[in-house]
Chain A
């Protein structure tokens, strides 16, 4: 069956360290993968999109990698801050181009001052 798996346990990290979140998928061949941030009581907010022919993408303190062989994306936040505390979601087109976007369950990140 098709699955998008994110670590459902919360990730606690000390301020200033690099946070690394994992998104694994099975039985998909996505052309692109997206990462979102969600704060309590709010809708998800788009962060980064990475295409299958891109190994890595960066935006300020954020970095995303995409390994289509391992079927895995890693999301890194460097020099983490308490304001980075939120739930992070990965998403991909699960329909082979027909634009059906499916999300993982998300990982809750807590940055401790």
Chain B
């Protein structure tokens, strides 16, 4: 099993560019989420989804869009990148959210110049 796969591993964007961070899981998990991790701030929840077609905002949703058209995929879109979005992004999935273990991908390191 591949688990949670994130692509790309590294990305450099210029301010104002758009891009999509990909996340796919092969465990048939209903729950998926996106976090960003910054030094001293820990993991902060951006958006999450409790199933296909259902998404909700986390702690820091501004500047990010998500959709969940399939159980397997949960892409994160940056519509107009800003330097404040420089961070490491982690995707996670679980069987049913907070009462079951989260499985994380290995992250995408994004730099916005």
Contacts and interface: CB of A to CB of B under 8 A. Distances in A.
Interface residues of A, number: 29
A32 B97 CA distance: 11
Contacts of A42: 106-107
Interface of A: 8, 30-32, 34, 36, 41-46, 49, 51, 89, 91-93, 95, 97-106
Contacts, number: 78
A7 to B, nearest CB: 13
A8 B4 CA distance: 28
B42 A34 contact: no
Contacts of B48: 99-101
B103 A46 contact: yes
B106 A93 contact: no
**Ranked 10 nearest A-B pairs via Cβ:** A99-B97, A93-B98, A43-B104, A105-B42, A46-B101, A103-B43, A101-B98, A43-B106, A44-B104, A99-B98
Contact of A101 (B4, B33, B106): B33
Contacts of B35: 103
A104 B42 contact: yes
23 contacts: A8-B40, A30-B98, A31-B98, A32-B98, A34-B98, A36-B102, A43-B92, A43-B105, A44-B90, A46-B103, A91-B102, A98-B56, A98-B97, A99-B48, A99-B96, A99-B99, A100-B48, A100-B58, A101-B33, A101-B45, A101-B98, A103-B45, A105-B40
